Amino acid sequence: MSKMWLIGGLVLVVALAVGAVVTALVTSRSGADLPADSPEGVVQRYLLAVQREDYREAHGYLTADLQTRCRVEELAGRDHWRYSEEDEEMTLEKTQTFNGSAVVTATVTVFRPDVPFGASEYSYDRTFNLKLEDGQWRLTVAHDYWAGPYDYCPWF
């Protein structure tokens, strides 16, 4: 019976995680749209597409390899955020470009107004890896450890 509670709790957390995309947007410090042809602009547009549940558009921001391994339907079935009962804000921290690849780092600040003794807030970093493919930045993964036999879509 305790396993059922654990599984039920995990299912609830995963189900709630989908809603976090509503408040998790990558923005510049000024809140403006980032250039579409930049690594950080691709990350922003990917997250906005997921927020709108436009998974075809979101799928277009993946590398060709990931598009082959992860169908649009699989991407739509993924849970994209770990938490959703909390308000989140994602702020661009830095972008590092290398020889045909880029790393975008953003800080996620989570606000929990309903905790005892007042509101609570904490932050953590999220890293997005991109690759320059046919002159356009595309999301990729740093390692293939996520690609198990039943898991072909990355968790961004």
Domain 2-146 belongs in CATH node 3.10.450.50: yes
What separation, in Å, do the N-terminal and C-terminal C-alpha atoms of the chain show? 33
Contact indicator for 68, 145 with CB cutoff of 8 Å: no
Q: What are the residue ranges spanned by the domains of the chain?
A: 2-146
Assessment of whether the complete model's pTM goes beyond 0.85: no
Q: Are 154 and 146 in contact (CB under 8 A)?
A: yes
Pairing of strands 26-27, 120-133: unpaired
84, 16 Cβ separation under 8 angstroms? yes
Q: In this structure, what DSSP letter does residue 32 have? A: P
Per residue of the chain (156 residues), what is the pLDDT tens digit? 565 555 544 433 333 333 333 334 444 444 578 999 999 999 999 988 988 889 999 999 999 988 988 889 888 877 655 544 457 888 999 999 999 999 999 998 988 777 777 778 889 999 999 999 999 999 998 655 444 444 557 666
Q: What is the DSSP letter of 35?
A: P
